[in-house]
Structure 1
Amino acid sequence: MATEAAGLAVGAISLASLFTTCIDCLDYITLARNYGRDLEISLTQMSLLNQRLSIWGEIVKAQNEGFELPALREQWPQIGSTVGNALISIKEAFYDASGLEERYGLKAVPGGTNTAAKIHESKALNQIMDTFHIIQRRRQKETSVVKKTWWAVHDKKKFDDLLRTISFNIDNLEKISENLNILEKQKKKLALVMDEIDDEDSLKLLVEAEEADKNTASASSGHSFMNTIIGERARVIMGNAGTSGASHEFRDTKITGAHVHMGNMSGAVAKSFWNASTPEAK
């Protein structure tokens, strides 16, 4: 009888579980009741990042434990830490409630868990999210026994810091895709999905979000991370947080149970990050 192949893992965490957690985090962000066009554009940016990450996971078969993309499995000893670092950095951005409020301008939706009545996206944004299957995933999760906290965007400037962090790490995943010769496939898949959007207001919103995303991406670029190992109890942010600045190269870094930021950080973000309780204190 053939032995079933083990799924890929990042330390003690399976790739499937880590990827699913990241998607869950991105799915549970909505708009505050009294939102403006700027926040609507920012949440559209988040939806685009969500879709890029979803497509990456689909193409590499991240949730098919033991049956991931053969090229990914073959190169996992060389690229596993890079993939893991990117996903862990996205997950860590949602590490604690106080950090989401202080650093990223999010507030928990009253009541702890959300219902359709508490979601305030516009019709244009709703069509984008529906096309990206975000709304479908939300509905499925609403039936789950384990209820999730939803977060509403209140502060665009702070929320842009979160967009930069996520964009930076998805860019790193797509660099891996380029090495695996699947990046063009991902881009074509994204283009096909976006072609399904035919509402004029939704298309205008997408154009504005893509333009804003270029500015977000440029502010988060410049650093390179090679052979970084992150322990299970470490809390790490990789990339710029709240500011831009000189680029840096990080090589052969091993992080255990500590708070570490690798990149440029603003004073406001630093105060929140370094004052937060350590994982050991949780």
Structure 2
Amino acid sequence: MEVLGAVASGVTLAALFKYSFEAFDIIQLYQSQDVDFKRLQLQYKLEKGRLYNWGVEMGLADDSKPNLLNEWHSKELVAETLRQIIALFSDAQVIRKKYGCDDAISSAAPSLPGPETLHGITRAFDHFRIQSSNSDESMSRLKKTKWVIRDRKKFLILVSDIQSLVDSLEKITNDLSTIARLEECLRRRVNEIKNGDILLGIASVWKESHPRVASAASTKADSISMSSGKYEFISQWQNSVDSEASRDSLIADVEDLSITELKHSVVSSHEKLETLEKSLNSTSDSMTSLQRKMKILRDRKEAQKYAGIFMFVISASALLQFFQRT
């Protein structure tokens, strides 16, 4: 079990958090009818859940979220606290004598399957890739050893020690959590602002104190500026380029543009193509309608023509009959 000392050194905060969370699994819980004992096992699982929730909020359990501890001045305190959690499980003698556990292999106690939610939490770490092969090997050896609870009163000491360390993690990073939630709320409100000047003002004021909010405001302002026509000079450049210009002059004009200007130029061209396509579709619809109307007129004209011939034949026949009688 001393291998945990190697695991706890020379790894990232995310890796330390992963190892401390997985260390909980070396204790196998088992079926019991004792209400107090069941409550104790529940408290153990709750502390594991609290540690996971803390890791999610700090960005350690999900690498798609920003790590709030990367640039934090007290991150070494967090690392040391995580090492202490790992150390609780690092000594077989301590686990056996201080925390009242027995080797699971020699114990006949039926293990208690963990709830599906905790299985899901454990699977959430599958995407982690820790670079230290020695640490992986050490953790692999650690997982081969399992313990079951023998003495409830002694095991309560382990739960209390874990609770104290998790409390410390939450307290020391409380300000970070509060600021992160505040910034997330501000980012959502920033996305609702439609005035580009206000957004640029927010980006300028909060550039140092809240860089993530400032970045969101600046990005939104750029988006509004593009859509409101503040890049009209790009369209003017497009119109100024003669369609018969030489290849060399066209390349020179393109090279004069920045990447951002080229992007807006492409967007503008795409919008013009869409407008032209809509215009052509509208013209096509008009032509179809006109053809239908002309067909109706032709049909009417033909009908009138044949009606006139029919009336002429009837009239001629009537006159012929009249003259024959007279």
TM-score by length of 2: 0.42
TM-score by length of 1: 0.48
* Bigger relative contact order, structure 1 or 2 (CA pairs below 8 A, ≥6 apart): 1
